[in-house]
Chain A
Amino acid sequence: MRWLACALILLAGCGSASETPVAEPAREAGVLFAYEVGNHLHRYGGRVFEDGRYELFSGEPDWETFEPFTPDQVEQIAAAVDKAESLPGEIKGGSDPIPPDTARATFTLRGREVVVDEYPQASPPELEAILELIARLRKKPPVASTWEVWTGSETVKLQVPCDMGDVAVLADLRDALFMPSPSATASRFPDPPSGTPLVRIEFADGETHAVAADDGEPGRADAVKAALAGTDWAKLPPRLC
């Protein structure tokens, strides 16, 4: 009986092994700045080398290499690392007892380690400043775009030379265009003439994306029309940022 039950469980797919991922030490030769964060459920980390190499891991223990930093960017990161030089080797959160499943972070500042318990609550501003700097430096250069938008009675052309994510008035329309499984109640928003899209975006590299009133993807056109109905597009300036 016991064996039968075990066999049934095995048939159900047991037998694969899974162990808690542990990354190789972040502290490797030439590391300018590194961090490794997590608890028993999930770990992630990143490291910047003095030669500009940039590597990240998340969940899986393998570091993955991404576009390197420029020498100028490395200098900026190095300056931020130097500002954190006086931090103690261990920073406590102060909770007693420490909350369950709390994350812990180990930062490597050149050759020196700083451990932060109760991360991120207890993380000092010097360390957060480095991470914020890296986030700023990694922000992708904007891809300019031109939007042709059906207002309900005409099509207007809007220039977006910045990242579309930085334009608040485009937020709903952006979601309607790109989110998976769109859904919205059918709007009374009037359809454009045949052959005229509801929205057409042309990116600076020539790539285009358009959604028509008869778009084949279920819910997509309704979602776009609902987003279009929420803004008086004709009254917007021709350049949105």
Chain B
Amino acid sequence: MTPEHNPGEQREEQTAARVPDVAPDVPQSTHDRLLGLQQQVGNAAFGRMVSRWKAGKAILAREDIPTEAEIAEAEAWAAEGKKSSKDLTPGAGGAGLNNAPGGFDAEYDPKLGELTIIMRCGVEFVDGISKAGVARKGLEKELEKANALPTEIERQQRLALFRWGDGEDAVDKTTFRTDVEKEVEPFWSGKHQFFMRKKGWSWLGATVKVDLKVDNKSRVPDAHLTMKPVKVPDTVSLGANVEPGGATNARDQVMNVTSNVHASGSFLNHFVTFDVGKSDVKPGQDTKLQNVIDTFKGAETSAGSGVADARSIQTPVFLTGHASKTGNAAFNQKLSEDRARSVEKFMKEHGFVNTEVRTAEMGVGDTEATGGEVENDRRVDIQIGSGNSQNTLRHEFGHAFGLGDEYASTPLVSPGQTPAQGTPAMGDTATHDNLVKNMVDAGGTPLKGAVCEPTDSIMSVGDVVRPQHYATFHASLTKITEPHGPWALGSPTAKNEALPGSAGTGATTAPAPEPDAVPV
């Protein structure tokens, strides 16, 4: 996915900018001050500051530059070595629906600038259909289908697909253990970075590395998480969930999944079709489109207000019009564009929030048509955000890390479910909301929080790890490095650099220049 497709990522880049957007005009006679600053911080750091300040027309106060004593204090702290803590349950700091406390060890290595999240996972392998031929709940249909196979050999071969291999280290078991690590660790690692937003300490950074230690439960007596994968063929799905356990018990979470670590769900791609030669949204398709709108419009300050909740991701929507092969190619190109515009107009008129800035439409004519007059060739594809499927295991590990759900019951996601049944409603506060609000961007501005709405986020119905999804990692880092902090999102600075945004106090609006401010 490209950054252009993802306002969340863009937002992060914006918040990670080291200068405020707005800065006052500054006087010009500053040569001596600049020279002094250059001598004080060194050429490299001075060059970086100049380029950033020029970009933002910010100003720098002399007291923003770290003193040698401040840097030395940070160096001494870092030299003490790794900071760590066991059995953290940072998600317990959240509240409300679907609270999952998390459970893991955390270790911060100042030398490497790395926060390692260590989760020991003990696996209890569960047969989908037992040796005696009894199906697990949800697999009754699979058993019936196996029993209906024409020969006993075929039946036995089919049933064997629902059983784990014998022995602790059967090939399918070792493969599962390895695949869980391969699927989850790189996905949740390295998506965002922290630095200590404290004068003289901001050169201390923390990339995040997730380290799962997956082994059979019998060999992991101190497991944080018990995984109970049900053996099924890859074509069979069975859902998944995490049983959170006690709020402050880091070792009693249970994850129910299947043996298929690549299982996924697709929620972000939809389409509506059109009559031949027409671009208006026809009856029947309007209902379908309304369901898309009601599902992905985004959380509002109040239902139907049309005003986006400040915490809403405001996932972009990409509309791509198509036409069938019949007729003139140039006409079909225009028709496809008209269809995309028609859908955009319909969305705007039927409650989609911020249509103007969130939707982008284009037509591709009949270039992808299958031939002839096929209804599905006369369509507009509606892609929500990344458009990617959600890997179930990655989502469930988000819960295991202490995050709550961010999806909401809507026409296309968990329809008919209610908060009383454990499914959030559109606009509900996500359980990790307050942990997210404890996070600050590079300039020191707190994040807005997390709200429940169908989006392309990993804790909603997509695959994007946003800064808010590092809330429990951030809470852990904060805890194990107390009393120093806060940790902000962004890259660390050079040792002798001012705090990002310090010239403007880190807020979006810069203060009046100090008497000894250094203009650039």
Q: Chain A, 170-191, contact with B by CB distance < 8 Å: what is the 0/1 string?
A: 0110110111110100000000
Task: Give every chain A residue within 8 A of B422 (Cβ-Cβ).
Answer: 97-102, 104, 117-118
Most chain A beta-carbon contacts within 10 A, residue among B160, B161, B242, B244: B160
Q: Which residues of A contact B360 (CB under 8 A)?
A: 2-3, 6
Interface flag for A10 (CB, 8 Å): yes
Contact residues in B for A239 (Cβ distance below 8 Å): none
Contact-residue bracket for chain A: 35 or more
A58 in contact with B387 (CB, 8 Å): no
Contacts of B97 in A (CB 8 A): 97-98
Flag if A207 contacts B151 (CB, 8 Å).
yes
Q: Cβ of B404 < 8 Å from any Cβ of A?
A: yes
Quick one: which of A180-236 are within 8 Å of B by CB?
A: 180-181, 183, 203, 205, 207, 209
A41–B133 touching, CB < 8 Å? no
- Prevailing SS type, chain A contact patch: mixed
**Within 8 Å of chain A (Cβ to Cβ): is B413?**
yes
Q: How far is the CA of A7 from the CA of B421 in the complex (A)?
A: 40
Q: In the assembly, what is the distance between CA of A61 and CA of B498, in Å?
A: 59
Question: Which of B171, B241, B383, B399 contacts A14 (CB under 8 A)?
Answer: B383
Residue pair B138, A58 in contact (C-beta under 8 Å): yes
Q: A205 contacts B320, CB within 8 Å?
A: no
- Residues in chain A near residue B461, CB distance under 8 A: 40
**One of B139, B153, B241, B318 near A103 (C-beta < 8 A):** B241
| Cβ contact within 8 Å between A174 and B148 | no
Q: CA A95 – CA B137 in complex, angstroms?
A: 21
Q: Identify the interface centre among B142, B144, B163: most chain A CB within 10 Å of its CB.
A: B144
Q: Mark B361-374, 1 if CB is under 8 A from A, else 0.
A: 01010001000000
Query: Which residues does chain A contribute within 8 Å of B240, judged by CB atoms?
Result: 41-42, 101
Q: Does B301 contact A (CB under 8 A)?
A: no
* CB <8 Å contact, B153 and A207: yes
| Residue in B closest to A46 when the chains form the complex, CB atoms | B140
Contact A178:B156 (CB < 8 A) given known A97-B96, A98-B422, A138-B143: yes
Given A58-B141, A135-B140, do A165 and B407 touch, yes or no (CB 8 Å)? no
Shortest CB–CB separation between residue B185 and chain A, in angstroms? 21
Q: Could you tell me if A181 and B171 are in contact, using CB atoms closer than 8 angstroms?
A: yes
Given contacts A207-B152, A209-B153, 19 further A-B contacts (CB under 8 A): A6-B320, A10-B364, A19-B267, A40-B407, A40-B417, A42-B239, A97-B99, A99-B422, A100-B241, A100-B405, A101-B405, A134-B140, A138-B140, A138-B143, A138-B144, A138-B147, A143-B152, A177-B156, A179-B165
Interface centre among A41, A56, A135, A181 (most CB of B within 10 A): A41
Q: Using CB atoms, name the residue of chain B closest to A132.
A: B134
Complex A-B: 21 CB contacts under 8 Å: A3-B360, A3-B362, A10-B364, A17-B270, A17-B271, A59-B237, A98-B98, A99-B243, A100-B399, A102-B241, A103-B239, A103-B241, A117-B422, A131-B137, A135-B134, A140-B155, A175-B166, A178-B159, A180-B157, A180-B161, A181-B171
Is A5 an interface position by the 8 A CB rule? yes
Kindly name the residue among B152, B153, B238 whose own CB sees the greatest number of chain A CB atoms within 10 A. B152
Give the chain A neighbours of B399 by CB distance below 8 A: 100-101
B472 CB, nearest partner CB in chain A, Å: 14
Question: Within residues 102 to 154 of chain B, which ones have a CB less than 8 A from any CB in chain A?
Answer: 130-135, 137-144, 147-148, 151-153
A86 at interface, CB cutoff 8 A: no
Tell me the dominant secondary structure on chain B's binding face: loop
Give the chain A neighbours of B171 by CB distance below 8 A.
181, 183
Q: Does B314 contact A (CB under 8 A)?
A: no
Q: B293 CB to closest chain A CB, in angstroms?
A: 14
In the bound complex, how far is the Cα of B392 from the Cα of A6, in angstroms?
25
How far in angstroms is the closest Cβ of chain A from B174? 10
A118 and B381 alpha carbons, distance in the complex (Å)? 36
Q: A59-B237, A97-B422, A103-B241 are in contact. Are A16 and B140 (CB under 8 A)?
A: no
CA distance A205 to B163 in the complex (A): 25
Looking across the interface, which residue of chain A has its beta carbon closest to that of B396? Answer: A101
For the complex of A and B, the 8 pairs showing the least CB-CB separation, nearest first, are A42-B239, A98-B422, A101-B241, A40-B414, A18-B266, A56-B141, A100-B98, A5-B2
- A97 and B98: CB pair below 8 A? yes
Return the contact of A44 from the options B138, B151, B407, B414 (Cβ within 8 A). Answer: B138
Is A9 a contact of B414 with CB atoms below 8 Å?
no
A226 to chain B minimum Cβ distance, whole angstroms, is 10
B421 touches A14 (CB 8 A): no
Is A39 interfacial (CB 8 A cutoff)?
A: yes
Instruction: Decide yes or no: A66 and B148 within 8 Å by CB, A58-B138, A99-B98, A165-B132 being known contacts.
Output: yes
Asked if residues A205 and B152 are in contact (CB atoms below 8 Å), the reply is yes
Q: Tell me if A29 counts as interface (CB < 8 A to partner B).
A: no
Q: Report yes or no: A39 in contact with B99, Cβ–Cβ below 8 A.
A: no
Whether B5 is near chain A, meaning CB under 8 Å from some CB there, is yes
**Contact across chains for B242 and A117 when beta carbons are under 8 A apart:** no
- B153, chain A: closest CB distance, angstroms: 5
In the complex, whether B67 has a CB less than 8 A from a CB of chain A is no
Query: Which of A19, A64, A120 has the most B CB atoms < 10 Å from its CB?
Result: A19
Interface residues of A in 70-103 (CB under 8 A from B): 97-103
Residues from chain A with a CB closer than 8 A to the CB of B440 are none
A15 within 8 A of B: yes
* B100 located at the interface, meaning its Cβ lies under 8 Å from any Cβ of chain A in the complex: yes
Q: Looking at B155, B237, B381, B421, which has the most chain A CB atoms within 10 Å of its CB?
A: B421
Quick check: A117 and B100 within 8 Å, CB to CB?
A: no
Q: Does B24 contact A (CB under 8 A)?
A: no
A51: Cβ under 8 A from any B Cβ: no
Query: Which residue from chain A places its CB closest to the CB of B100 in the assembled complex?
Result: A100
Q: Check if B4 is an interface residue, CB within 8 A of chain A.
A: yes
On whether the beta carbons of B270 and A165 are closer than 8 Å, the reply is no
Q: How far is the CA of A59 from the CA of B239 in the complex (A)?
A: 9
Q: Give which listed residue, A42, A140, A175, contacts B133 with CB less than 8 A.
A: A140
The answer to whether B147 and A9 touch across the interface, beta carbons within 8 angstroms, is no
Picked from B238, B242, B387, the residue with its CB within 8 Å of the CB of A101 is B242
Residues of chain A within 8 A of B420, CB atoms compared: 117
Mask of B447-467 contacts with A, CB within 8 angstroms, 1/0: 000000000000001000000
On chain B, the residues within 8 Å of A3 by CB distance are 360, 362
**CB of B37 within 8 A of chain A?**
no
Contact string against B for A residues 1-32, beta-carbon threshold 8 Å, 1 for contact and 0 otherwise = 11101111110001111111010000000000
Q: Does B423 contact A (CB under 8 A)?
A: yes
Complex-state Cα separation, A14 to B461, whole angstroms: 16
